[in-house]
């Protein structure tokens, strides 16, 4: 039982979503992105389709169509048709290129194109399943992306606070050392008075340092609570996906 649980924990999100459907996993592992907002073109889909028709490279248009289809569930039929048409057109281009490579005696290139043709055929036949899995995959990835952005912002704030703390500590130690040097030059009465003042200032500095340390601990505890909340939310989303 423990070995089975460990194996399940090691599954990637895509493996989890595809389950035993290895052909679907094999295709989507090449067509889905961990960071879709960074990887997928910002151009309009119509522009990408027009460029694909001119260049014969349909990859960016297909990526965009799949992503937009996941973000517009109410238009799934339209995007299903768009993806099928793109896959069909890409398959025609690949078939023509494969024939040319075979005539040229380039067997390795022809074999590579043959695999691409099979992928496009599979995509055309299983578009509905592709969109279902891609929708769940990108929904989770986008949530995780937002979490990462917030986490990086908190880490930046933490580094800034630590930098300020180091600067304050260095300055106060410098001021204390300078005060000791000044007192060493004073007469006994003047030195006694200056020492009492220095002790008061050092006590105030200690209090300020304690207050800053308390704030640091509060930030760490808040970060831990956020981590726990995000993990709980991730587990809940995973359970929901498993129940679908």
Q: Give the span between the Cα atoms of 226 and 53, in whole angstroms.
A: 47
30 pLDDT band, cuts 50/70/90, is very high
The pLDDT tens digits of the residues spanning 134-164 come to: 999 999 999 999 999 899 998 898 888 888 8
Residues 6+ apart with CB under 8 A from 176: 198, 202, 205
Q: What is the 8-class DSSP label of residue 4?
A: H
List C-alpha distances in Å: 225 to 114, 230, 232: 52, 9, 10
The pLDDT tens digits of the residues spanning 194-240 come to: 778 878 888 888 888 888 888 888 888 888 898 888 888 888 888 88
**Residue 123, token pair as written in the block:** 């995509």
Is 6's pLDDT higher than 50?
Answer: no
The pLDDT tens digits of the residues spanning 171-192 come to: 888 888 887 888 888 887 787 8
Predicted local confidence at residue 8, as pLDDT: 46
Is 32's pLDDT higher than 60?
Answer: yes
For the segment 55-84, the average pLDDT, to the nearest whole number, is 96
Matching residue, tokens 């220095």: 198
Indicate the pTM of the whole model.
0.78
> 130 near 138, Cβ under 8 Å?
no
Q: What is the 8-class DSSP label of residue 74?
A: G
**Residue 208, token pair as written in the block:** 């300020």
Q: What integer best gives the mean pLDDT of the chain? A: 88
For the segment 70-93, the average pLDDT, to the nearest whole number, is 96
């Amino acid at each position: 039982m423990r070995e089975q649980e460990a194996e399940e924990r090691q599954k990637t999100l895509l493996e989890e979503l595809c389950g035993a459907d290895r052909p679907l996993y094999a295709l989507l592992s090449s067509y889905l992105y961990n960071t879709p907002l960074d990887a997928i073109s910002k151009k309009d889909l119509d522009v990408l389709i027009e460029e694909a028709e001119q260049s014969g490279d349909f990859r960016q248009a297909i990526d965009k169509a799949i992503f937009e289809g996941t973000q517009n569930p109410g238009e799934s039929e339209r995007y299903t048709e768009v993806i099928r048409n793109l896959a069909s057109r890409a398959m025609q281009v690949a078939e023509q290129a494969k024939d040319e490579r075979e005539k040229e005696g380039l067997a390795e290139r022809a074999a590579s194109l043959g695999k691409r043709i099979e992928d496009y055929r599979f995509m055309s036949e299983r578009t509905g399943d592709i969109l279902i899995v891609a929708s769940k995959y990108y929904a989770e990835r986008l949530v995780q992306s937002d979490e990462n952005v917030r986490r990086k912002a908190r880490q930046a704030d933490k580094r800034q606070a630590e930098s300020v703390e180091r600067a304050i500590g260095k300055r106060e130690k410098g001021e204390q050392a300078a005060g000791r040097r000044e007192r060493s030059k004073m007469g006994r009465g003047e030195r006694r008075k200056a020492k009492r003042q220095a002790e008061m200032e050092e006590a105030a500095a200690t209090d300020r340092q304690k207050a800053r340390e308390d704030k640091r601990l509060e930030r760490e505890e808040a970060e831990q609570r956020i981590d726990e909340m995000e993990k709980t939310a991730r587990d809940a989303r995973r359970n929901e996906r498993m129940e679908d």
